[in-house]
Structure 1
Amino acid sequence: MCNFNAYVYSLLYLYVSTGVPLFHVSTNVLYVYSRFSWCFPHVPHLCFGLHVKIKFNYAKPLIEEDIKNWQKKSEFEKQSEWKKRVTAVNQNLKVKELTKENKSKYLNTNKRADLRYVLAAYDPENETFPVYIKNVDTLFIKVPIAQAPTFKEKWKNDVKITPNYDIVNDRAAIVSFSFKLGNNVYKSLNNYVPDQNLSANIDLPEIMVDVADNKVQTKPLSLQKAKTQPVAIIDRTIDKDIPVSSVKSSNTFAFIIGNENYQNVASVPFAVNDAKIFSEYCHKTLGLPKENIKVYIDATYGKILGALSTLKQISQAYKGDINVIFYYAGHGVPNEKNNEAYLLPADATPSMLEACLPLSGLYSSIGSIDAKQVIVFMDACFSGSRRENGMIVSARGVAIKPKKDIVTGNVVVFSAADGSETAYPYKEKGHGLFTYFLLKKLKESRGNVTLGDLADYIKTNVSQKSIVVNNKSQTPTISSSAQMQDVWRTMKLFRK
């Protein structure tokens, strides 16, 4: 196949300007490949059988045709100019250019003209307006309370609404909205995430390049050493054989948030698993019907507000005859100026706290609903630290001690850590340390445990195990409203 007279036992690397290896020779067979494919060449030319990743499937046939035309030698183009133009590097640049052009055309031809918007009642605690969009979604606009009356008054006639389009799941979609009133622009908070890493493979036509025009570098096989990473073994015992209770808690509702994959900051190890397994315990062990369990994975600001709105509606429908379990695993952040604590939505950044949920606002919202009891489990810390080593907020590298928020209503709050401490993971178990011992006690007791016993168990085991496995202190805390102070220890999570 290849015109080589001798066996070659070393690896040969061909580099284009990016330094990417494009072929190697092993024995007497020459293989040419890019990052995504390889092909057999024919001497005296090398065939770059490029298999380029195109980010959007809808653009694939258009780009394939355009690239074929781009690769053709023009009638008025010299051979040397053509060979200089049609290279692997230039082809990749051309693909990106064509992708961008076709994306713009695709979005412009798929815009909707039938959107109808309804402005709902203002939420002063979170300084947001819900906006209902018929047959689409409910979104939330952050409007400062001082501007809210004018915004509502001018809504019908003076607020200009602009949908912002992008690609979601390889289709045209509205990813956010902008609301303009005068010189002020307000943006929706529950934005969708456009496709960034999704891609489709596309086979592009071959590019012919002279071997003589490229430099070849030899690298002996003996210098190539495989790098291995230790594999962590996770004990999933707590996730299996979850006890099933005969109790049916039809009037208990669980709202469970697991924020692990953040768009702008480090992830929270095991937060998704925390949320999913806790939801299984709520169903199987505490007896909640599946429809009573609302699980939100990587929840945005809007989704969290939507969950609180749903909770309020359920409370009103049941006229207060409900129990509520609210669980959150994810990042918490402090305001460095006033030490206020915030929940960090999956689409937010710590430097823009206006798109984060104040803990005081959360406690105020759930404390104001009409319910027999509301039990909150907060597997997060609010010092600016994260589950693994490092900080997500403080540029000084120092944990900040947040203010202690006052709990009102029939609310009891279990927090994973105290003050400036960090809520750590329990890597060997695949959970947050706090959540692991919460689940462990539910499993051991089959859910029949008082909040007092649960609190004592979690506090003792987390504080001890944190020193052993993380070499750091972590002290869970329990706080309650004044009316629950004398009774919460005898309460249970389920209702018969």
Structure 2
Amino acid sequence: MKNIFFLFLVLMFTTTSAQNMFEVNWEKRFGGGYEDQAKSIINSGDGAYVIAGWTKSLGNGGRDAMVVKVNATGNKIWEKTFGKEQDDVIYSAVLSPEGNYIMCGSTFNKQTEYYSWWVFAIDKNGTKLWENTYGGSEWDAAKAIISTTDGFVIAGVRKNRGDMDKEMTLMKINKKGVKQWECPLGVRYYDDEATSVAATVDEGFIVAGWSKKDSGPNKQIHLAKVDKRGHAEWQKTFGGEISDFAKSITPTNDGRFIITAASRSKTNGEEDIRVIKIDAKGELEWDLNYGGLYSDIPNAISSTDDNGCIIAGYTKSVGNGNENLFLMRLDRKGNIVWERFFVNYKWVSAESIAISDNGYTIAGWATSEDGDDSDLFIMNLTDNFDKQVNNYITENTKSGDTKTRDEIKKEAISKFKIDKVSFADYYSAPNKADITYRGGGDPLKGLNVTTKPKDNQFGEYYALIIGIDNYKGIWSPLKNAVRDAQTVEQVFKTVYKFDHVKTIYNEKATRANIIREMEWLIENVSPKDNVLIYYSGHGEFKKNLNKGFWVPVDASTNSTSAYISNSEIQTFLGGIPSRHTLLIADACFSGDIFRGNTMSVPFEQSEKYYAEVNALKSRQALTSGGIELVMDGGKDGHSIFAYYLLQALKENKNKYFDASQLYSKLKIPVVNNSEQTPSFNPIKSTGDEGGQFIFIKR
């Protein structure tokens, strides 16, 4: 396998080279022709490293646990697999006081068809010493393990048989794997999961993870303090405005704890890196976000001697649009000391990090150069930032100098400051006025830490897709409505960013079910989110009532009692607390939904335009016709309207594509090839402010 090549993005230094400031010493890959991933790396206690994860290339079938030991220069000492023919994976590893390696993860029991917590110990040569399983359900997994003076503490998720909810759980075992106590945590009637655990100075533990309502999509960071006997002392949640889930936690030398999370609640687009620092009582000290326009996920964290931390993971905001490895160092106040991005890979991610005298050693996965899925991947790096700063201070401190040491330190950091490698530069470069640097130019107050442009904060995307062919009674069956809706569903799921897609087809598309799904949107959508509702079916217009209707599948007569009126739809659309709601209706008389007007921002293909229209609320409808009949059949098994709608969505090459552009693409071909005229307008009295629903390509 070929070595990975890396690229530092525009490193600018005054008196030292990028190579001397930050060096990659070596990188290695292990695995075979299928998926192989590292999830944990630890210092082995004898100057080497132990990397644990899973493999599909080796072992007995499915995913098997894989452990590799390498020396200080990355050369393999031994490689072992563990497991049976089903899935057996490792999520975390720890060094015991005796010098053994303890692994935790999950194993699948073929007879019971349940997953169990799986913990086993191996010696320094990779020989298994003991193993145990705990519990057993469709969800059980041990996600993190730490060592204590008399055993080990494991955090993860359990689901007891008969329960509806997943449960955050902390368990203590002795040195032979015998359970000492178990502490269920989380919020009652919520799904909860622990992802990481750290020890406290009073011999207790702080658990980090997430919780969410069963009926809702939004996760919140969940933290819990447990004493040494397994009793919960306090539990707290953070975030959850949209979705936040803790990835890892690390203790610092000053008795605090730093937690990383993937966040959609305070973002510039997709997930951002959220970092919070708490004291031993769970009180918040600071809460900061970092990231670009696309997904930035902080998988690993390790504390530094200055009470800051190193964070590693992957970013899609920098580089080629794929998952690219990033490293970021923060000081004790959350200011960025430096960032590094590695972009000359197809896909690469850091999952764990170990700090030693040899520098930072990162473990994760990377796509291999020979075309297989992924390889287990490790890289060792040296950070010379502190050394260079201290050398500068020594060289420039002169007797009788009026400058204080702190002033010289500020000067040094300013000289060695890295230019144009912050996440902010990549999502804000086209509009520099949106970037505000904290600290007023004082490098000690933050290097390249930015506040976020308010306009480009895209929330989550929801789609409700309704299609009905199987009408009865006076309503003739349709041929293409469900096919149209299913193709729209496929395009949304594969081409564009939609986080939640719900569908109601044929017999399920009753009046009650459609209204129930509208009510679900009202209850679960947040003010930053985007909602698209697509309806393909019969429509009706009652002249004597001067009102249009949707016709659900259970409407078999001409009575309006089973219909859904456009005024009802308006009420629901006005009640959904989204930033943008777009209704696309391919039905007869669907244009009756309008009767509103507003001013809109003139279109231009620029990030400034998309920021402006995203900042303004929108409640709009794109319909296949006005108050007129529209065609069911048309072209290639779709209605005329659906055919050109799908063509416009599929042929779009831009990252952003708003509803007004979609309308302009389909209007002329629909008019030229049918007797109907599509319409696109705001919906009256629903809160439209002139913004636009923006489609984001994956």
Q: Structure 1 length as normaliser, TM-score?
A: 0.41
User: Could you say which structure has the higher strand fraction?
Assistant: 2
> Which protein, 1 or 2, shows the higher relative CO under an 8 Å CA cutoff with sep ≥ 6?
1
User: Could you say which structure has the higher helix fraction?
Assistant: 1
